[in-house]
Structure 1
Amino acid sequence: MSEVEPLRYHSTRSAGPTVPISQAIAAGLAPDGGLYVPEALPSIDPAAFDPHGTLADTAAILLAPFFAGDPLADELAAICVEAFTFDAPLHALPAHPNTMVLELFHGPTSAFKDFGARFLAACLRRLPRNDARPLTILVATSGDTGAAVAAAFHRKPNVRVVILYPDGLVSPRQAHQLGCFGDNVTALRVVGRFDDCQRMVKAALNDATLQAQLPLSSANSISLGRLLPQMSYYAHAALSWWREHHKPLNFIVPTGNLGNALACLWVREIGLPIGSLRLACNANTTLPDYFSGAPYTPREAVATLANAMDVGAPSNFDRLRWTYPDVHALREQLQAASVGDAAIRQTISNHAHEYGYVFCPHTATAAHLLDQLRASGDATPWTVVATAHPAKFESVVEPLIEQPLAVPASLAAMLARPASSEPLAANENALRQWLLQHAQA
């Protein structure tokens, strides 16, 4: 087997300097404030994958070119086994011919963020650090990311996790998850919106003076250590479908910050059998407006039932533009639609009562687009990407389905713990001062 050429990474704002993936993962954000991307996306032959392989096996083959020549390359298979201890099953949707649901909520915190968070933690645990001080992982969350990262890093030595979430704008069970860990995890409830949390985290990561006093990294979807592993479940599902049906699989992805959707898009770009990709957004219309032809215009997020997608300035948009520098080509490759709260409620109710399948509010945005496609006569294979377990949103879902939801065992265990959080103003200096004050804690 010939030696693979090492792949290096640069900022979306500059073609250089390039760094190995270990450095990109450790830093989270490039020094100029941009997002790390590979010099070029590799190409992978679908025949390279074991038809009988597990999700971890698929991930190891898929990600090998991205880690080529890096110290983590020899550990990649072990990292995948450590991270992917639960499945991402592809199920037929009851009473819907040619329609599947890709269930990504079987991890410890009942959300798709578990895949990337656990992979990132497994990577960082293996990276040598010259600094003996604890590494502080900063996380801005609109609901699910924070708990996944907290679970992945909980009680890990020499690591602290600081979670920022918008006070009152996550579900009660999400808020409880964020504050239930303790030990090396702190939850800060920000008096603002998710975009404020995201802006504050980016500012801290880009503050060289602060970084000199306190080693920082990120676990948001801006981190390649979270984005790349999310490609794995799309590859695994698409390859399984392709082997059986000899045709690509189409996906409808609920999205807010664009990380999960970008992972699906990159799988298609590297040559695996994914067909059409549609983005389902909530009432935050930044992406639907852009894909309809309007200029890209970030704006303040509005609160919706699908709160984890309440994003007005998607941070992975720069990576999307890097993938397709020509705006016309980008708009030909993707479509995005907005789904309001009324349609979310109706979709949850209809599917529960008519088909016996219960969606969370985020997944319901994708299911609504599916219903529209089927009503228009589209009979092609579509997969709805189910991003979270509906039991995390019982206050929304249970009144609509008119029965209680069973709570996954791991979620029930978290809800049984006491939870606490600290208030924080929605500005960069407030976070900076908090971090410095607690640096020696």
Structure 2
Amino acid sequence: MQLYSTNNKYLRVSFKEAVFNSMPQDKGLYMPVEIPQLDADFIGNIEKYSLPEIAYKIASTLLKDEIPAEDLKALIEDAINFEAPAVKLDDNTFVLELFHGPSLAFKDFGARFMSRVMAYFLKDGEQLLDVLVATSGDTGGAVALGFLGVPNTRVTILYPEGKVSPIQELQLTTNAENIRAVQVKGTFDDCQALVKQAFADEELNAKFRLTSANSINISRLIPQTFYYFNTYAQLKKQGLNDVIFSVPSGNFGNIGAGLLAYKLGLPVKQFIAATNINDTVPRFLESGIYETKPSTQTYSNAMDVGAPSNWVRIMDLFNGDVDTLKKVVTSYRFNDEETLAGIKEIDSKFDYVACPHTAIAYLAIEKFREENPDDESAAVFLSTAHACKFPDIFPKEIAAKIKIPEQVKALESKPQHADKLNVDFEGFKNYLLKG
């Protein structure tokens, strides 16, 4: 598998190099030189395959000979060892539950696959791998659990002070071993900027072997395509062939993976990018002007991103052709009041408890249906996190229905530790240099 930079189409690096470098020195993002089409026979019979089988088919098609077949199969079976059920709410509405992994969030797909790929490529005696990650809520927990105890790695997680939920913070700060958490007096965008500056710093790169676990890393994006194909397989078993996906979108890695799946041959009619009031992309699709802004805190904190890194990848997938992109991608925004109303509506209509991100994806489906009353496609909205992570957001009668998983209860008895930094790169750099 050869990859180029979105800032340099002529650059060529291997998958292994892209995984460990994470981001090209020109500050672009890695993309595959070739996006092969999955064969029609596989797509036509996809309902016959299990999630690990689907995952292996996609990964082997993209990676080619980067990892031998048997090793890749074993890696996938270890990483993707939980289900992603498309739960039927009515004849044409499904919620895709992506929270059945260890950190109770969809990020487990990317983080577990990436950590195992890195562990596979790491050789005994090589320099310690320093993994830097910024999180707005769920990424950090998934990465922490994905890398916990992985030899020859050290993970540094930056998260914004006061802007993650209590359970999310427990997942970040109770790991110890090779995981360290850093609380930053700022926003997610500030955390993300610090990480990007670190990758561009010559002194840090000379001293450390740096890589990222954010969705800017191509090994995070690939495994997220797995559940789009697997969902299509689940619907196809029920005789449903036309499908629309509504994706809660913050840094736009999740929907970016869906669009990569589309380019690989997944027959999706429409993608909906559902955002909160951090609406850089909806504004762009309406006005044609791409203008980032500082992120604003909302109930759906994992989507509080004002400068979504992965949008450049999505534009690259469509060769910068906004008109073609808009035929495939629709985008809607919703505020906190609407989000809470969505949570109540899902509970009332379906007796289903949805996290705030999931509620926004549901609202986007309803908005799309209002605007397209003749479209009878099956609509799938992605549930990206377990509702237990957001206890303060739900009305009491809905909160009472939430079942707290055992792994969350276990976190509450563990000691917490987080280092604290201001938003200045020199402070972060000195923190890293001190080890």
Measured against the shorter chain, the TM-score band is over 0.9
Q: Tell me, in whole angstroms, the C-alpha distance in 2 between the residues paired with 1:204 and 1:131.
A: 24
| Aligned residue type for 2:56 | A
TM, length-normalised to structure 1: 0.94
User: In structure 1, what is the Cα distance between the partners aligned to 2:259 and 2:394?
Assistant: 30
Alignment of 1:41 with 2:30, yes or no, is: no
Aligned to 2:49: 53
Task: Work out the CA distance in 2 between the residues paired with 1:324 and 1:374.
Answer: 25
Which digits, 9 at most, give the CA deviation of each residue in 1:103-142, with x for residues without a partner? 0000001000001100001100110348633211101000
Cα shift readout 1:218-267 (whole Å, capped 9, x = no counterpart): 10000111110000000111133235425232100001001000111111
| Conservation of the 8 A alpha-carbon contact between 1:398 and 1:404 | no
Q: Is the 8 A contact 1:29 1:36 kept in 2?
A: yes
Bigger Cα displacement from structure 2, 293-302 vs 162-171: 293-302
Q: Secondary structure of 2:155's partner?
A: strand
Could you tell which deviates more after superposition, 340-349 or 372-381?
372-381
- Asked if 1:358 is matched to 2:358, the reply is no
Write the letter of the residue equivalent to 1:347: G
Q: Distance in 2 between matches of 1:259 and 1:189?
A: 23
User: Counterpart in 1 of 2:185?
Assistant: 191
Identify the match of residue 421 of structure 1 among 418, 421, 430: 418
Distance 2:156 2:107 in 1: 16
- Structure 1's 219 and 72: CA in aligned 2 closer, same or farther, altered over 3 A? farther
Structure 2 unpaired stretches of 5+: none
**Counterpart Cα distance in 1 of 2:379 and 2:30:** 31
1:103 equivalent among 97, 106, 122: 97
1:91 shift after superposition: 1.0
Q: Is the 8 A contact 1:253 1:366 kept in 2?
A: yes
Residues in 2 aligned to 1:242 and 1:16: alpha-carbon distance in whole angstroms: 40
Q: Does 1:207 align with 2:201?
A: yes
Matched with 2:388 is 391
C-alpha distance in structure 2 between counterparts of 1:75 and 1:263, whole Å: 23
Q: Which residue of 1 aligns with 2:126?
A: 132
1:252-286: CA deviation from partner (whole Å, max 9, x where unpaired): 00010010001111111111222211010001110
Please say if 1:225 is aligned against 2:219. yes
- Cα distance in 1 for partners of 2:237, 2:358 equals 26
Report whether the alignment pairs 1:115 with 2:109: yes
Q: CA deviation at 1:69?
A: 2.8
- The residue aligned with 2:300 is 306
State the match for 2:402 in structure 1: 405
Q: Residues 50 and 87 from structure 1, CA distance in 2 versus in 1: closer, same or farther, beyond 3 angstroms? A: same
- The Cα shift of 1:371 comes to 2.7
Displacement of 1:414 in angstroms is 2.4
CA contact (8 A) 1:92 1:101 kept: yes
The one-letter code matched in structure 2 to 1:84 is: I
- Is residue 434 of structure 1 aligned with residue 431 of structure 2? yes
| Offset, 1:73 | 5.3
| CA distance in structure 1 between the partners assigned to 2:253 and 2:26 by the alignment | 20
Q: How much has 1:404 moved relative to structure 2?
A: 5.0
Total equivalences in the alignment: 430
Cα distance between partner residues in 1 of 2:315 and 2:102: 33
Change (3 A) 1:283 1:400: farther
1:227·1:259 contact (CA, 8 Å) conserved in 2?
A: yes
Structure 2 partner of 1:25: 19
The DSSP-based 3-state class of the residue aligned with 2:247 is strand
Q: Does 1:62 align with 2:58?
A: yes
Paired residue for 2:327? 332
- Tell me if structure 1 keeps the 8 A contact 2:86–2:234: no
Q: How far did 1:195 drift?
A: 0.4
CA distance in 1, matches of 2:209, 2:260: 31
Which residue of structure 2 lines up, in the alignment, with residue 271 of structure 1? 265
CA distance in 2: counterparts of 1:74 and 1:14, whole angstroms? 34
The one-letter code sitting in structure 2 at the alignment partner of 1:384 is F
Measure the CA separation in 1 of the matches of 2:109 and 2:273.
Answer: 20
Match of 1:283 in 2: 277
The equivalent position to 2:339 in structure 1, one of 344, 349, 361, is 344
CA distance in 2, matches of 1:167, 1:386: 25
Give the letter for the 1:329 counterpart.
T
- Greater shift, 206-215 or 252-261, is seen at 206-215
Letter in 2 for 1:406: K
Superposition RMSD in Å: 1.7
Aligned residue for 2:131, secondary structure, equals strand
- Taking the aligned partners of 2:101 and 2:288, their CA distance within structure 1 comes to 38
Alpha-carbon distance in structure 1 between the residues aligned to 2:399 and 2:194: 40
Residue 143 (structure 1) shift: 0.2
Deviation at 1:312, TM superposition (A): 0.4
Q: Which runs of 4+ in 1 moved over 6 A?
A: none
Counterpart of 1:3 in structure 2 is none
- Contact 1:251/1:385, CA 8 A, preserved across alignment: yes
Q: CA deviation at 1:398?
A: 4.7
Letter in 2 for 1:430: G
Of 354-363 and 67-76, deviating more is 67-76
Report deviation, 1:97.
Answer: 2.6
Letter in 2 for 1:156: V
Please report how far the alpha carbon of residue 387 of structure 1 lies from its aligned counterpart in structure 2 after TM superposition: 0.3
In structure 2, the partner of 1:4 is none
Separation in structure 2 between the aligned mates of residue 317 and residue 362 of structure 1, nearest angstrom: 19
Going from structure 1 to structure 2, the CA distance change for 1:297 and 1:73 (only over 3 Å counts) comes to farther
CA contact (8 A) 1:72 1:126 kept: no
Q: Distance in 2 between matches of 1:400 and 1:345?
A: 13
Cα pair distance change 1:418/1:46, threshold 3 Å: farther
* 8 A Cα contact 1:345 1:400, kept in partner: no
Relative distance call for 1:130 and 1:422 in structure 2 (3 A) is same
Distance 2:403 2:239 in 1: 34
CA–CA distance in 1 between the matches of 2:298 and 2:218?
A: 28
Say if 1:298 and 1:418 are closer, same or farther in 2 by CA, change over 3 A.
Answer: same
**Residue pair 2:346, 2:359 contacting (<8 A) in 1 also:** no
Q: Write the distance in 1 (CA, Å) between the matches of 2:421 and 2:109.
A: 29
2 CA distance for matches of 1:381 and 1:262? 21
The answer for the alignment partner of 1:163 in structure 2 is 157
1:90 aligns with 2:97: no
Q: How has the CA–CA distance of structure 1 residues 73 and 221 changed in structure 2, closer, same or farther, with 3 Å as cutoff?
A: farther
What stretches of structure 1 of length at least 5 have no aligned partner? 1-6
